[in-house]
Structure 1
Amino acid sequence: MEVTTTSSWDALRKQARKLEAQLDEQMNSYRKLASSKGSTKVDSAENDPESGIDRLLKQLQQVNSQMQAWVSSGGSEMVSHTLTRHQEILQDLTQEFHRLRSGMRAKQEHALLLEDFREFDRTRLDLEDGVGSADQALLREHASISRHTGQVHANGLFFLW
């Protein structure tokens, strides 16, 4: 029975290391995306690095829980130390992911506000130059406000004034 118990621990460790390697690779890509100067908007759900990282973090959490159950049932001090290290890695990756995601969202909000300001400025200049009717300017401003409000709602950032 000792062989089965040891092999199950080894399988869990191997799975944890594999998930950690995948997370490391995806986090490197996400770091580059977060630090890029260009647009940070993601085109589609399957290309969304956040959901992929989040899914891997949940899988690693499950593996760590299984390892914890294994240690609780009588694992050695060395095995307990190994589990602690895997838990620290998970915690570090999770904290970095939340920090990067928060920065990405702030960048997206900033870009959206700049775009809305540019649209407002274009509308103001059109009015000053007499280009288009006042009704057209109001319609453009209404569309800009509606677009901005919809994006704020979609991001769950709606505040009541």
Structure 2
Amino acid sequence: DLCLIICFYNFVKDLRKQARQLENELDLKLVSFSKLCTSYSHSSARDGRRDRYSQDRMFETMAIEIEQLLARLTGVNDKMAEYTNSAGVPSLNAALMHTLQRHRDILQDYTHEFHKTKANFMAIRERENLMGSVRKDIESYKSGSGVNNRRTELFLKEHDHLR
């Protein structure tokens, strides 16, 4: 019976170690992800399309990596919950429940932070795309070299004449 408890303890200890490693990895990835999202709006206006494309690809890659880490951490937490519920020693079970809850809280915080950062990035990207389109239209209008600008100018003159 003591051997069973020791084996059980070692297994749970390994799960906790995996959870901490995944949490540390997620923490680093989320910091990098947040920096990427923050730098997106600052660089997109001055660096042009190519840099935005590379940042979009980096965003997609990092988002996938973070989602995979979150899924792995969820799996480790689920295994821990499974073994916590089956533990036969009440004092050990109480300690495991506390540890499990702490790991679940960390997972929830990281998941929330990821979704918030991702949503902010999507909003910034949408705004930048819209602003880029508006800038392009303004530059096109200012250049006055296109056929459409000539037509617009003629329509405006005709409109003014009709007034």
TM-score range, shorter chain: 0.7 to 0.9
Q: 1:32-111 alignment to 2 at 5 Å? A: 32-36=35-39, 37-39=42-44, 42-44=55-57, 48-74=61-87, 76-111=93-128
CA deviations over 1:78-116 (Å, ceiling 9, x no partner): 111000000000000000111111100011001100111
Give structure 1 stretches of 5+ with no counterpart: 138-161
- The two structures have a TM-score, normalised by structure 1, of 0.75
CA deviations over 1:114-136 (Å, ceiling 9, x no partner): 1110111123234xx3x13239x
- Which structure has greater helix proportion? 2
| 1:18–1:6 Cα change, 3 Å | same
Aligned equivalent of 2:146 = 132
Q: Give the distance between the partners of 2:104 and 2:69, measured in 1 at CA.
A: 14
Q: Give the distance between the partners of 2:95 and 2:108, measured in 1 at CA.
A: 20
Higher mean displacement: 81-90 or 68-77: 68-77
Amino acid paired to 1:51: I
Size of the aligned set, in residue pairs, is 135
Question: Per-residue deviation at 1:34?
Answer: 2.1
Higher relative contact order (CA 8 A, sep 6+): 2
| 1:111–1:45 Cα change, 3 Å | closer
Q: Contact 2:19–2:77 at 8 Å: present in 1 too? A: yes
Q: Give the distance between the partners of 1:110 and 1:46, measured in 2 at CA.
A: 16
Identity in percent: 32
Q: Give the distance between the partners of 2:120 and 2:147, measured in 1 at CA.
A: 40
Q: Give the distance between the partners of 2:134 and 2:37, measured in 1 at CA.
A: 23
Question: Per-residue deviation at 1:35?
Answer: 2.1
Higher mean displacement: 73-82 or 8-17: 73-82
- The two structures have a TM-score, normalised by structure 2, of 0.74
Q: Give the distance between the partners of 2:97 and 2:43, measured in 1 at CA.
A: 44
Q: Give the distance between the partners of 1:80 and 1:38, measured in 2 at CA.
A: 46
Q: Contact 2:36–2:59 at 8 Å: present in 1 too? A: no
Amino acid paired to 1:59: R
Aligned structure 1 segments of 4 or more residues deviating by more than 6 angstroms: none
Amino acid paired to 1:101: K
| 1:45–1:15 Cα change, 3 Å | same
